[in-house]
Amino acid sequence: MIIDPCVNPDGRDRYVNWYNQVKASPYNVKQVATEHNEPWPGGRPNHYLFDLNRDWAWATQVESEQRLKVYNKWMPHVHVDFHEQGINEPYYFAPAAEPFHEIISDWQRDFQVEIGKNHAKYFDKEGWLFFTRERFDLLYPSYGDTYPMFMGAIGMTYEQAGHGRSGLGINTDEGYVLTLKDRIAHHTTTGLSTVEVSSKNAKNLNTNFKEFFNSSNLKYKSYVMNGNRDNVKKLTQLLDKHEIKWGISSSKSVSGYNYSTQKNGSINAENALVVSTNQPKGKMIKALFEPNAKLSDPLTYDITSWSLPYAYGLETVASTNLIPANDVFIQTAIHNNPNPNGAGYIKSWNSMSDAAFLAELLGNNIKVRFSEMELNFSGNKFGRGSLVITKSDNKSNAEFDKTVTEIANKHQLQLYAANSSFSDNRTDFGSPDIKLVNKQRIAVLKGKGVSSLSYGAIWHFFETQLKYPISSIDTDYFRLSTLSNFDVLVLPEGYYGKSFDEEGLKGLKTWIQKGGKVIAMGRAVGFFNEKEGFGLEKNGADENEDDDEISDEETEDLLIPYADKERNSVKNFITGSIYKVSIDATHPMAFGYGDTYYSLKQGSASFQFLENGNNVGYIKGDAVSVSGFSGKDAKEKLKNSLVFGENRIGKGSIIYLVDNVLFRSFWENGKLFFINSIFFVNNNKVIL
């Protein structure tokens, strides 16, 4: 058994240091008191402001990686994750709410009920209130209760009223004081009650834990994936963290459910990645790779789709047959040799590995170009976005060839050494379509009004993945005059009404007109809706519709009983669903992509196509969702809508990423859109 208090040292230190600075003595129970209003970003997230309780499956954070090592070594039968919730909810414990993921066994369901009834016995004795079977479901695989459930354990979240607001004691809305002593007593009671029930059922726990790992009844026996080798490698690294076995296909072709067409078909399976369910963690594999999770109830606590083949942009078939695969992935080490007599080097542009290579070149003061056209040199073809590193641009660097090849070897990327800059297809090294990459000076806003999770994902991305410097600026200290020191301003998800008033927007527009670039992520996009000069407008009602006329359907909505309103409201929700998006692969924002992309959409925000800008990613006609839940009305709103776009303002641009491609840092296939937006789209330097 593992009892996981989920102690986050960075967040805890942040909270405790703040609390000890501001608390009254004796403590003040009034909700308005300073000690109950923790400043941004709060104590919950870790150093990079990630919510670790949503990182179990994706393991993007070092804390998650280390926890998985311990978890897999122990493989507990019972796992409790202790949390806190708002001050006015008393206490929550198992059994969980629907939806349960379909791989959860009847035994796991029943045992949660047994544990819950035992807790209730002690809570009733003390006169403590609690609730069960509400809010906290067992679908999304990346929580501290669901991940253990999918690994055969009895996984549970216990939620105590309190959170960061409570301090040593606080008045609730119901008029009683909730103290730290109360909170400790409640968690201690459920913890000991869990041990008691588990001890009494040790034999049954052992038997049913063993039975969980029988995966013979799963429909799909193997998931076969082909595509960009860097993305495949990234996926295998994630599988290794979970100690999930994988192999390389020895078949030429495999048939089954094709993720691209959403129907039966086949793919080229030569040297493809194969992950099969005939292994101990077969049910976890189903949960992570299945094309569309079965949903018993649309009212969920988190996203309803996360399918890894879509997240990593891989061509995939789910087969009902067990596909043979080699146990070892043999990959020859890449070694590039300097070519001092040549004209330079070319690197195709496909993945985050290429982006990290570019960042390190720029960090070493190597000048790099990128091509807006397809290239052809001595019969070798390279797509749009390919990096061109010329001797001409780096004549003053005596270590040019050595530095470039050493960095490429470090990243295990194959360079093409061009002996001549004369091409096969008229796009030579000196072509106006091969443009110099600006060594961008990037500012990112943080602080009040900004989502700490969104900012944290951006900060973590630059610092640990791209390894490129940024300047984080707090909204309390942000001044438009500081933008003259930057080329790019990134706006994480958030609300920017206080940061940019009417005069602030005019100043921002002036900076863009001089060559600046703004990248708005997720909810930040909506701030520019109908703002003059920014070219963005939400999709609304049909212009021909009579606003004064109420349809029969609207009349029905008005008459829905109070008790049914929450359930009826799901028709307006999109809870983390995957949508098919058309891509203009000729635009610099889309370099490295094909004409179709699968996007994780977290809400129903819908914007019209840009009239005077570039619609790079868009939904044309009816929206097509391939996985996850979408309410009928929400899905209808997405018809003919913008997903990714660029609007030119003078010499600069504002870039709209309606879907947040860095969400929780696990949607690997979306990250190039963000990189391209920084380095390739309208690559100007601000005119000072």
- Give the residue from 576, 566, 554 showing the smallest Cα distance to 630: 576
Quote the Cα angle for 288-451-615, to 5°. 75
User: Which residues are registered as beta bridge partners of 249?
Assistant: 325
Domain limit, last residue, from 380, 403, 436 = 436
To the nearest 10 degrees (0 to 180), the angle between helices 180-200 and 202-212 is: 80
Domain limit, last residue, from 167, 194, 212 = 212
Domain membership of residue 179 as a residue range: 2-212
- Give the residue from 488, 451, 522, 495 showing the smallest Cα distance to 667: 522
**521: phi then psi, degrees, rounded to nearest 5:** -110, 135
User: 40: buried, middle or exposed (CB in 10 Å: 19+, 13-18, 0-12)?
Assistant: middle
* Shared-domain flag, residues 390 and 471: no
Residue 102 structure tokens: 């379909």
6: Cβ contacts below 8 Å, ≥ 6 apart: 52, 53, 81, 82, 83, 144
**Calpha distance 317→255 (Å, rounded):** 7
User: What CATH number does the domain containing 103 carry?
Assistant: 3.40.630
- Beta 416-418 vs 369-371: how paired, if at all? unpaired
Could you give the number of structural domains in the chain?
4
Residue 339 is assigned to a structural domain of this protein: no
Residue corresponding to tokens 């052992």:
206
**Calpha distance 336→35 (Å, rounded):** 59
* Shared-domain flag, residues 428 and 451: no
Helix H or strand E segment including 208: helix 202-212
Residue 18 is assigned to a structural domain of this protein: yes
What are the pLDDT digits (tens) for 202-229? 999 999 999 999 999 999 999 999 999 9
* Shared-domain flag, residues 458 and 583: yes
597: Cβ contacts below 8 Å, ≥ 6 apart: 313, 580, 581, 583, 617, 669, 670
CA atoms within 13 A on the CB side of 266: 9
Residue 630 is assigned to a structural domain of this protein: yes
* Three-state DSSP state, 569: helix
- Give the residue from 496, 659, 494 showing the smallest Cα distance to 574: 659
* Shared-domain flag, residues 526 and 552: yes
Q: Give the model's pLDDT for residue 551.
A: 54
* Three-state DSSP state, 107: helix
Beta-strand ranges (E) seen in 141-197 are 154-161, 169-171, 177-179
Chain center to CA of 82: 24
User: What CATH number does the domain containing 362 carry?
Assistant: 3.30.70
* Shared-domain flag, residues 559 and 664: yes
224: Cβ contacts below 8 Å, ≥ 6 apart: 249, 254, 256, 267, 269, 272, 273, 274, 316, 317, 318, 319, 323
The answer to whether residues 599 and 643 touch, using CB atoms and an 8 Å cutoff, is: yes
Chain center to CA of 341: 44
* Shared-domain flag, residues 249 and 392: no
Q: Give the model's pLDDT for residue 543.
A: 43
Q: Give the model's pLDDT for residue 525.
A: 97
pLDDT less than 70: residues of the chain: 5-6, 328-330, 541-560, 562-570, 685-688
The answer to whether residues 362 and 368 touch, using CB atoms and an 8 Å cutoff, is: yes
The answer to whether residues 10 and 61 touch, using CB atoms and an 8 Å cutoff, is: no
Residue 33 is assigned to a structural domain of this protein: yes
**553: number of Cβ within 10 Å:** 8
111: Cβ contacts below 8 Å, ≥ 6 apart: 154, 201, 204, 205, 208
Residue 248 is assigned to a structural domain of this protein: yes
User: Which residues are registered as beta bridge partners of 45?
Assistant: none
Query: Could you tell me the sign of the dihedral formed by the alpha carbons of 109, 111, 114, 120, in that order?
Result: negative
Residue 171 is assigned to a structural domain of this protein: yes
**628: phi then psi, degrees, rounded to nearest 5:** 95, 170
User: 609: buried, middle or exposed (CB in 10 Å: 19+, 13-18, 0-12)?
Assistant: middle
* Shared-domain flag, residues 118 and 237: no
* Shared-domain flag, residues 536 and 564: yes
- Give the residue from 92, 54, 57, 50 showing the smallest Cα distance to 71: 57
* Shared-domain flag, residues 19 and 122: yes
What are the pLDDT digits (tens) for 97-138? 999 999 999 999 999 999 999 999 999 999 999 999 999 999
* Three-state DSSP state, 560: coil
Domain limit, last residue, from 436, 458, 475 = 436
* Per-residue CA distances from 212 to 23, 105, 360, 594 (Å): 49, 7, 47, 40
* Shared-domain flag, residues 348 and 307: no
User: What CATH number does the domain containing 608 carry?
Assistant: 3.40.50.880
**488: phi then psi, degrees, rounded to nearest 5:** -135, 135
* Shared-domain flag, residues 204 and 261: no
Q: Give the model's pLDDT for residue 288.
A: 98
**68: phi then psi, degrees, rounded to nearest 5:** -60, -35
Residue 151 is assigned to a structural domain of this protein: yes
**Calpha distance 641→517 (Å, rounded):** 23
Residue 60 structure tokens: 């993007």
* Shared-domain flag, residues 534 and 641: yes
Please indicate, yes or no, whether the overall pTM of this predicted structure exceeds 0.75: yes
Residue 285 structure tokens: 């594999």
Q: Give the model's pLDDT for residue 9.
A: 86
- Give the residue from 323, 239, 322 showing the smallest Cα distance to 68: 239
Residue 245 is assigned to a structural domain of this protein: yes
Residue length, the chain?
Answer: 688
* Three-state DSSP state, 472: strand
- Give the residue from 576, 624, 621 showing the smallest Cα distance to 601: 576
> 244-279 burial, b if ≥16 CB within 10 A, otherwise e?
bbbbbbebeebebbbbbeeeeeebebeebbbbbbee
Q: Give the model's pLDDT for residue 572.
A: 81
Residue 410, by phi and psi: left (phi above 0), alpha (psi -120 to 50) or beta?
alpha
